[in-house]
């Protein structure tokens, strides 16, 4: 029995609320149960120096967590003077995931920065961030299209992410914090709308896992991502 009484292949209640921030070209407040992330997409007519003059754009991401998003207060990274290792790892993952489904040539020499700020954390902040980021990005590209800044299909596919893990010996989908801190194994899958893999990250938190166990997690993830992609499509419809 999962602490949340969910079935093993059941997602938490997911919501994707668009247009939550007045100024951003795209934004989304994504909730996976008690995990709440505010995502904005910002369009800027400039590129990182190493990318200039190559005729293509860039999508990058930054990630942060409000100090009291967590059970105990976490030190503010701006006060500590640096982003910690986990933050850097997550924001690199979000950026790679989004770039995999964007046609950077078609975007043109511009940068879209996606900011994911966790207002409340109950496990799965990185998967919620990626899932919500797609919505904010889609809105930003829609904003550009309305202004004839881009043509054709810049957004090649959906992208969504979900965690799964082995909890009390059973593969389960979309871990919350209570499960995550107890799970033997934890994996995050970033997948496209057509079921292909963009990123897989599997970690044995306690004991190494077999290849068969990994395949079971992949099957669960596939199910979860299919559902999340449906929700994304409804959100932007």
Tell me the two tokens of residue 106.
Answer: 């078609």
46 near its own copies (CB under 8 A): no
Complex with its own copies: residue 125 or 237, whichever CB lies closer? 125
Name the residue nearer to its own copies (CB basis): 53 or 81: 81
Nearer to its own copies, 9 or 157 (CB): 157
Residues from 159 through 188 that contact its own copies (CB under 8 A): 187
User: In DSSP terms, which residues pair with 237 in a beta bridge?
Assistant: none
DSSP 3-state of 92 = helix
Residues 6+ apart with CB under 8 A from 147: none
Distance in Å, CB of 67 to its own copies, minimum:
5
- Indicate whether 147 belongs to the interface with its own copies (CB under 8 A): no
Pairwise CA distance, residues 40 & 113, whole Å: 8
Whole-angstrom Cα distance, residue 176 to residue 164? Answer: 10
* Angle ∠(194,42,190) on CA atoms, nearest 5: 25
Residue 174: DSSP 8-state: S
Under the rule (CB under 8 A), what is the footprint of its own copies? 21-24, 27, 34, 38, 40, 42, 44, 62, 64, 66-73, 76-83, 85-89, 91-92, 96, 100-101, 113, 115, 117, 119-120, 122, 157, 187, 191-192, 195-204, 207-211, 214-215, 218, 222
């Amino acid at each position: 029995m999962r602490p949340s009484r969910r079935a093993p292949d059941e997602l938490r209640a997911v919501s994707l609320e668009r247009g939550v921030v007045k100024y951003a070209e795209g934004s989304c407040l994504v909730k996976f149960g008690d995990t709440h992330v505010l995502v904005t997409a910002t369009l800027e007519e400039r590129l990182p120096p190493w990318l200039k003059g190559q005729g293509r754009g860039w999508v990058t991401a930054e990630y942060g967590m409000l100090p009291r998003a967590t059970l105990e207060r976490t030190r503010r990274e701006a006060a500590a003077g640096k982003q910690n290792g986990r933050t850097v790892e997550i924001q690199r993952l979000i950026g790679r995931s989004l770039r995999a489904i964007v046609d950077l040539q078609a975007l043109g020499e511009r940068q879209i920065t996606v900011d994911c700020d966790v207002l409340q954390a109950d496990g799965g902040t990185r998967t919620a961030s990626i899932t919500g980021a797609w919505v904010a990005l889609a809105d930003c590209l829609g904003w550009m299209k309305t202004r004839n800044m881009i043509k054709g299909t810049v957004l090649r596919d959906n992208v969504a992410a979900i965690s799964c893990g082995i909890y009390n010996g059973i593969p389960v989908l979309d871990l919350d914090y209570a499960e995550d801190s107890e799970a033997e194994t934890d994996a995050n899958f970033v997948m496209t709308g057509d079921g292909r893999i963009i990123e897989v990250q599997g970690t044995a938190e306690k004991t190494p896992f077999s290849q068969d166990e990994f395949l079971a997690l992949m099957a669960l993830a596939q199910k979860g991502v299919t559902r999340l992609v449906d929700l994304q499509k409804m959100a932007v419809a």
